[in-house]
Amino acid sequence: MQMKKVVLFLSLIGIISATNAQQALFGGPKVKSPEINPDNTVTLRIFAPNANEVTVTGDFLQPITSESNNDKIDRPEAVNLIKGEDGVWSYITPYPLPPELYMYSFNVDGLRMMDPANVYMNRDVATVTNIFLIDEPGSRAHNYRVNDVPHGTVSRVWYNSPGLDKNRRMTIYTPPGYEDSNDSYPVFYLLHGAGGDEEAWISLGRTAQILDNLIAQGKAEPMIVVMTNGNPSQEAAPGENSKGFIQPGMDISGMNAGEFETSFPDVINYVDKHYRTKADKAHRAIAGLSMGGFHSLHTSKLYPDLFDYIGLFSAAIFPFEGRDKAPVYQDFEGKLKTQFEKNPKLYFIAIGDKDFLYNDNVKFREILDSNGYPYEYFETPEGHIWKNWRIYLNEFAPKLFK
**How would you class 63 by CB atoms within 10 Å of its CB: exposed for 0-12, middle for 13-18, buried for 19 or more?**
middle
d(Cα 209, Cα 396) in Å, to the nearest integer? 15
Q: Does 67 bind a copy of itself (CB under 8 A)?
A: no
d(Cα 24, Cα 4) in Å, to the nearest integer? 23
Residue 338 burial (CB count, 10 A): 14
Region near a copy of itself per CB under 8 A, out of 37-45, 97-105, 302-310, 330-338: 97-105
Would you say 124 or 395 has its CB closer to a copy of itself?
124
d(Cα 260, Cα 252) in Å, to the nearest integer? 11
The residue among 260, 246, 249, 362 whose CA lies nearest residue 312 is 362
Give the footprint of a copy of itself on residues 148-167 (CB under 8 A): 148, 150-158, 167
Region near a copy of itself per CB under 8 A, out of 258-266, 314-322, 343-351, 393-401: 314-322
Asked whether 62 and 348 are in contact (CB, 8 A), the reply is no
Asked whether 309 and 400 are in contact (CB, 8 A), the reply is yes
CA distance to 81, 164, 185, per residue, from 288 (Å): 38, 20, 20
d(Cα 333, Cα 242) in Å, to the nearest integer? 40
Give the footprint of a copy of itself on residues 351-370 (CB under 8 A): 352, 354-356
Give the footprint of a copy of itself on residues 240-299 (CB under 8 A): 240-242, 244-245, 247-248, 250, 252, 274, 290-291
Among 49, 96, 98, 374, binds a copy of itself (CB under 8 A): 49
**How would you class 135 by CB atoms within 10 Å of its CB: exposed for 0-12, middle for 13-18, buried for 19 or more?**
middle
Q: What are the residues facing 225 on neighbouring strands?
A: 173, 188
Region near a copy of itself per CB under 8 A, out of 20-28, 214-222, 371-379, 390-398: 20-28
Region near a copy of itself per CB under 8 A, out of 9-17, 90-98, 328-336, 363-371: 9-17
Would you say 79 or 338 has its CB closer to a copy of itself?
79
Q: Does 179 bind a copy of itself (CB under 8 A)?
A: yes
Among 41, 124, 304, 337, binds a copy of itself (CB under 8 A): 124
**Considering Cα of 234, then 240, then 241, then 247, what sign does the dihedral take?**
positive
Asked whether 123 and 203 are in contact (CB, 8 A), the reply is yes
Asked whether 211 and 223 are in contact (CB, 8 A), the reply is yes
Instruction: Tell whether omega for the bond before 374 is within 30 degrees of 0, i.e. cis.
Output: no
- Least Å distance, CB 313 to a copy of itself, is 13
Among 164, 306, 316, 346, binds a copy of itself (CB under 8 A): 316
| Binding characters for a copy of itself, 184-223, by CB under 8 A (x = yes) | ---------xxxx---------------------------
Region near a copy of itself per CB under 8 A, out of 139-147, 221-229, 334-342, 389-397: 139-147
Among 38, 67, 77, 137, binds a copy of itself (CB under 8 A): 77
Region near a copy of itself per CB under 8 A, out of 22-30, 222-230, 296-304, 342-350: 22-30
Q: Does 14 bind a copy of itself (CB under 8 A)?
A: yes
